Amino acid sequence: MTALVTKALIKLPPLQLYRYRYSYKRISWHLKVSDQAASDYHRLNLSTRSHSLMAASAVEEVLPPHLNSTSEPPPLFDGTTRLYINDQCPFAQRAWITRNYKGLQEEIKLVPIDLQNRPAWYKEKVYPENKVPALEHNGKVIGESLDLIKYIDSNFEGPALLPDDPTKQKFAEEMIAYLDTFLKNVLTSFKGDPVKEAGGEFDYLEKSLQKFDDGPFFLGQFSQVDAAYIPFIERFQIFLQEVFNYDITSGRPKLAAYLEELNKTDAYKQTKCDPKFLVQLYKTRFMVVFLTSATYSVIVVSEMNVNEIAQLLHLSLLQASS
């Protein structure tokens, strides 16, 4: 296996080969960690069912079993409001956080979907896009995570996630509009030096958190902006610290306080994965990428495009999320 990685690296252009020697060392180390990475990955992926709600909270919600290709569908369009999610998916986490913050645990039922072995009926009868999250409500199904944040906030009772203040509303629109750029720039930085290349994005968060002084969140109080950003900030913080030894809160006191306050917020805590579990998942994902790659196409961190890195981080879950 190490020889295969070496061959893959030799095929890189000379400049890239020098630039990514550290990546090669990291790959070699991961390959030596376990000779059973492929089987371990399957076991680890299944273990998500018991580890994804490890965060302590005042009200801990126990997820029902994930539905897979052998599962029967729920009684669809029977008047029950259902939120189809996957507990590893940051896109689904956005809608899940929104539901929880508004106190809709009884009104909106969670239906976890196994995205690695998804049921055929989900695409055929529920959501033709075959992604999560999706919300079954009033005889129709709505998808796209950012749209669902707004839909749940607007169509259900509970604390509003968008203030009446026009200045804050405008700033919320600006931050949501910038989200794709934020994600792209951070993900792309993983091909080089995230400390230098992603630092500006975390500086952007730090500056944004300074705009309002009536609370620790982006709009002061918890809002749609936080629900949209935090699933990714959470993963970036863990991944960058573990793989690149980069602390995104260093020199950013507002961001540090923001993350500390979020971890006191039940609506978020009820949805987050155990950080230790995420770290192990990322390490296993590194190994599985190499073990399942075609000959001479072993994926090195240096060669990954944004979608490949996102998949590695479980951000896209094989393009199964939105």
What's the pLDDT tens digit per position in 198-254? Answer: 999 999 999 999 999 999 999 999 999 999 999 999 999 998 898 889 999 999 999
CATH assignment of 64-155?
Answer: 3.40.30.10
Q: What is the bridge-based pairing of β-strands 81-85 and 134-137? A: antiparallel
Percent of the chain with pLDDT over 90: 58
Average confidence (pLDDT) over 21-30: 34
**What would the pLDDT profile of 274-300 be if each residue is shown by its tens digit?**
777 776 765 565 444 433 333 322 333
Task: Report the distance separating Cα 253 and Cα 257, nearest Å.
Answer: 6
Size of the chain in residues: 322
* CB contact set of 298 (below 8 Å; sequence gap of 6+): 4, 5, 7, 8, 290
Q: What is the dihedral sign for C-alpha 185, 187, 191, 192? A: positive
Q: Indicate the domain borders of the chain.
A: 2-47+275-312, 64-155, 166-269
Q: Which fold has domain 166-269?
A: Glutathione S-transferase Yfyf (Class Pi); Chain A, domain 2 (1.20.1050)
Global pTM? 0.76
Distance CA 223, CA 225 (A): 5
- Give me the chain's average pLDDT, please: 78
- pLDDT top residue among 15 and 90: 90
User: What backbone torsions phi and psi does residue 67 show, to the nearest 5 degrees?
Assistant: -85, 135
pLDDT surpasses 90 at 31 = no
Per-residue model confidence (pLDDT) at position 91: 95
| Distances, alpha carbon 53 to alpha carbons 33, 41, 76, 223, in Å | 27, 19, 26, 22
